[in-house]
Structure 1
Amino acid sequence: MRRLALLSMLALSGCVTPQSTELPQRRAIAAEVAPSAQPPATFAPQAAARVARSNASVAADFMDLTFRMESGRSIETFSRFEGPVRVAMTGQVPATAQRDLSALLGRLRAEAGIDIAQTADAASAGIVVQFLPRATMKAAVPNAACFVVPRVGSWDEFRAARGSATIDWTTLTTRTRAAIFIPSDVAPQEARDCLHEELAQALGPLNDLYHLSDSVFNDDNFNTVLTGFDMLVMRTTYAPELRSGMSRAEVSARLPGILARLNPAGGGAAGAGSTHTPRDWISAIETALSPGSSDSARRAGAARALSLAQSYGWSDNRRAFSHFVFARLSMASQVEQSVIHFAEAGRFYAGLPGGTLHQAHVDMQMAAFALTSGQYDQVLRLTDRAMPPMMREQNAAVLATLKMLRAEALEASGRSAEAAATRLDSLGWARYGFGSETQVQARLREVANLAPGRVASRN
């Protein structure tokens, strides 16, 4: 059953345990890639979906995102950039980064109402995005895929200020300068995902909340680009009713009026239950996701997280994610249990805001299982359902893999022409999602080896 685990690394991008230095960071770690001569596919610009939950729920999440760090430390003072924000890119800027940054800044202007634009002058920029080799970043911050720090504008400034109060977000009253550090040698999608999450945190919330199913501010990393909820949070952060230096109580008192103006449909939506996440569940899930833990420790962490989620009576993203992680870590040794828990994850995701994206991740795994057992009609059904959410949420890596799975099912069903066209279509998305031609070809082989009778012919 070893073949069944081949796709597990795509299902979740390996979150890690927090660093002692609090650096808002994206915790997905991708492999280094070499430049590809093949042009990657690109997504057309599109606005995020409308927020479909209560303003009371949004307000509670806004407060938790804004006034707390991921470690649980409180932030006493509200801070943001006051006035126009200018963004510069420096270092070894990847070829796709300019297009992705331009699209992101356009969305922040249109959907969040922020006066933000790019500048070529890094010295005057409020936010500097510096690209540098992953090895350089890992030497200083081993487990962060990318991260953002305040009050500095370059890697050298960050190294000089590391460990000091200069880069402590909790000491800010007004944001004037921040630096984002992103590897220059990762797949285009990973660089784009870093741009979305870290630029959002440079501008606004610094926390991540596991119960959120419709946000990039969640270490489950299902959402890779800013969502409708995220844009509402950003628009609220820069509402004229707020200003830097306000206290928690002052911000809380103004939120109902702000959200009534920005999201009038949220006044009549149903509220949400408790969103407090106990530290024991967080610790268990972090153990399960940590690449530094042994396989047995990770499986034990996943089992404990699931047990805790069940004991707390959760039915939200945390319960679904617990099933998902348990299923993922059971793929190599307990195939039947893995299938059961992927199905349970899908059942819980089905009723959550933004849950179709999460279901699509489950569908990808279930399609891989179906391909190994020759259930080709099932592969076609699952991939057909999963591809639209992945296109809408702009996840090229998963979209490419779904198309590869679909191509194998079509080939095995005698529909060779369709299979060839589908496989060819997958390549452009794979080059954006995975980066190098070597990694694209490796993913093609991994998927092909899942099909019965294909292992010997492809090895």
Structure 2
Amino acid sequence: MRRVALALAACLALAGCAAPVSEMPGRAPSLSAGLPPMKSFPVRPADPPTRSNAQIAQDFLDLSFRMESGRPLAVMSRFEGPVRVRVTGNPPPSLGPDLAALISRLRREAGIDITRVAADQPAEITIEVMPRARLQRMVPQAACFVAPRVSGWEEYRRVRRSPEVDWTTLITRDRVAIFLPGDVSPQEVRDCLHEELAQALGPLNDMYRLPDSVFNDDNFHTVLTGFDMLILRLYYAPELRSGMTRAQVAQILPGLLARMNPRGEGRPGAPLAPTSRDWIEAIETALGAGTSAPRRRVAAERAVTIARARGWQDGRLAFSLFALGRLSLGEHPELALAAFLQAGEIYASRPETRIHLAHVGMHLAAFALSAGQPRAALDLANGNIAAATRGQNAALLATLLLIKAEALDALDRPGEARSIRQEALGWGRYGFGSDDEVRSRTEEIAALNRARRS
């Protein structure tokens, strides 16, 4: 399930880097003309995982035999045969190409026999698209979600409180429905497609300890990674089948990994310690809706304290610091800056967390722009654009490019700034959605530019 509260929209806190945008007298660049065409990413295979097979084996078992809630699963379940996918409701134009690209990747990289069929054809997986408000009236905390043994919204409504949609009772999957909003940005629709289709097919758990996966509620990765494709390829290996227990799968898994991921054999790296429930509760409070800002910041501080007390030096400590940084932007900018810098040091130490580092770099670039340091802002933006592109995060990419354009303007390079801003707007139409939202984001970032405010 993709949680609204944990979705890392790239610009949410930018205005807090200095004064609120409404208080800034600067003049934003004119966007009275039509925006450029929407950009999209080409289909490309993901980089293979870099961690050891011993770590990946433990991750596979923990993903496959436990729910997000912590409930254990006695056996693994999957589709035993070809998988047909249909789309119903009112899908936006971007869904078709993005779903086709994802299905192509699942066939090629995960080896799954999956195809799309017409909306009126029988299918193992139904993707129903609806207004976000309708979806969240029933499941307020979810941006999108997946349910078993149903093929549509009305059927789900009738049985949603019954054992019929209890994943722990499944042995073999035959019907699954994915519910996602159609009136959000193309990127959010695509992100939901990747996460929910992966869970409809495979593991149902999300784990904060994973640095290179969409099966992680930090939501830094927005498209299926090389690790995710390996997990799904393992999940549908002919040696495994529905109904197998954890012990049975654990016995077969090392041989499967040696064959499918030989680069991971003999690599150093022990599995990470499990994530404690008190840390999860702290981080969910920090990033959840319906809680006051001071309480959320206190919860983020508690998450940092717990992570350090557990001796974690991985992405969980970095994410705690990142959350603390975001929640401290408006009232405590010095604390925010220190938290971002510490998070950045952890993310920079691992090849799997380059996209995480790019999020930190975006905030630091915004700080530099607001502080009247356009050269530093330019360097930070340039240093993270490649990771945002490789991670296919259009919202983050557009934000970095807009910061770069403002820095170039401040450095008296208006021609380059115009060109970069046009590129940013194209990505913004995919990442932010409506033209009004693209213009609003552009104005927010322009307002950070100390040279423009002066």
Normalising by structure 1, we get a TM-score of 0.91
Q: Which amino acid aligns with 1:287?
A: T
Q: How big is the shift at 1:353?
A: 4.3
CA distance in 1, matches of 2:40, 2:382: 20
CA distance in 1, matches of 2:164, 2:121: 18
CA distance in 2, matches of 1:122, 1:81: 21
Q: 2:421 aligns with which of 423, 427, 434?
A: 423
Q: 1:271 aligns with which of 264, 269, 272?
A: 269
Q: Does 1:52 align with 2:50?
A: yes
Match of 1:23 in 2: none
Q: 2:410 aligns with which of 405, 409, 412?
A: 412
Q: Does 1:286 align with 2:294?
A: no
Q: 1:444 aligns with which of 427, 442, 445?
A: 442
Q: Contact (CA 8 Å) 1:77, 1:248: kept in 2 or not?
A: yes
Question: Alpha carbons of 1:10 and 1:71: their partners in 2 closer, same or farther (altered >3 Å)?
Answer: closer
Q: Contact (CA 8 Å) 1:89, 1:122: kept in 2 or not?
A: no
CA distance in 1, matches of 2:335, 2:216: 26
Spell out the pairing of 1:359-374 with structure 2 (5 A cutoff). 359-374=357-372
Q: How big is the shift at 1:416?
A: 0.4
Match of 1:101 in 2: 99
Q: 1:124 aligns with which of 114, 122, 125?
A: 122
Q: 1:316 aligns with which of 314, 317, 338?
A: 314
Give the 3-state SS of the residue equivalent to 1:90 in structure 2: strand
Match of 1:354 in 2: 352
Q: Contact (CA 8 Å) 2:88, 2:119: kept in 1 or not?
A: no
Q: 1:338 aligns with which of 336, 339, 344?
A: 336
Give the 3-state SS of the residue equivalent to 1:354 in structure 2: helix
Q: How big is the shift at 1:274?
A: 3.0
Comparing 315-324 with 187-196, greater Cα deviation is found at: 315-324
Q: 1:434 aligns with which of 428, 432, 435?
A: 432
CA distance in 2, matches of 1:48, 1:181: 26
CA distance in 2, matches of 1:382, 1:215: 25
Match of 2:25 in 1: none
Q: Deviations over 1:382-437 (max 9, x none)?
A: 11111111111100001001110000000010100000111011111000001100
Unaligned runs of 5+ in 2: 1-5, 13-33
CA distance in 1, matches of 2:308, 2:37: 46
Q: How big is the shift at 1:300?
A: 0.9
Q: Which amino acid aligns with 1:204?
A: G
Q: Deviations over 1:179-224 (max 9, x none)?
A: 0001010000000000000000000010000011100000100000
Comparing 349-358 with 378-387, greater Cα deviation is found at: 349-358
Question: Alpha carbons of 1:435 and 1:454: their partners in 2 closer, same or farther (altered >3 Å)?
Answer: same
Give the 3-state SS of the residue equivalent to 1:56 in structure 2: helix
Normalising by structure 2, we get a TM-score of 0.92
Match of 1:260 in 2: 258
Match of 2:110 in 1: 112
Spell out the pairing of 1:373-392 with structure 2 (5 A cutoff). 373-392=371-390
Q: Contact (CA 8 Å) 2:279, 2:306: kept in 1 or not?
A: yes
Q: Which amino acid aligns with 1:80?
A: R
Give the 3-state SS of the residue equivalent to 2:450 in structure 1: coil
Q: How big is the shift at 1:150?
A: 0.4
Q: Does 1:240 align with 2:210?
A: no
Q: How big is the shift at 1:352?
A: 2.7
Match of 1:74 in 2: 72
Identity %: 54
Q: 1:178 aligns with which of 164, 170, 176?
A: 176
Q: Contact (CA 8 Å) 2:185, 2:430: kept in 1 or not?
A: yes
Match of 2:217 in 1: 219
Q: Does 1:155 align with 2:153?
A: yes
Q: Which amino acid aligns with 1:434?
A: F
Q: Which amino acid aligns with 2:385?
A: M
CA distance in 2, matches of 1:202, 1:353: 29
Match of 2:87 in 1: 89
Q: How big is the shift at 1:271?
A: 2.0
CA distance in 1, matches of 2:208, 2:351: 14
Match of 2:17 in 1: none
Unaligned runs of 5+ in 1: 1-7, 15-35
CA distance in 2, matches of 1:427, 1:286: 32
Match of 1:187 in 2: 185
Q: How big is the shift at 1:11?
A: 5.3
Q: Which amino acid aligns with 2:424?
A: S
Q: 2:392 aligns with which of 353, 370, 394?
A: 394
Q: How big is the shift at 1:38?
A: 6.1
Q: Contact (CA 8 Å) 1:11, 1:365: kept in 2 or not?
A: no
Match of 1:4 in 2: none
Q: 1:300 aligns with which of 298, 306, 314?
A: 298
Q: How big is the shift at 1:354?
A: 1.7
Match of 1:17 in 2: none
Aligned residues: 428
Q: Which amino acid aligns with 1:354?
A: E
CA distance in 2, matches of 1:9, 1:113: 29
Q: Which amino acid aligns with 1:281?
A: W
CA distance in 2, matches of 1:142, 1:50: 35
CA distance in 2, matches of 1:145, 1:250: 35
Q: How big is the shift at 1:39?
A: 3.5
Give the 3-state SS of the residue equivalent to 2:100 in structure 1: helix
Give the 3-state SS of the residue equivalent to 1:40 in structure 2: coil
Superposition RMSD in Å: 1.6
Q: Which amino acid aligns with 1:181?
A: F
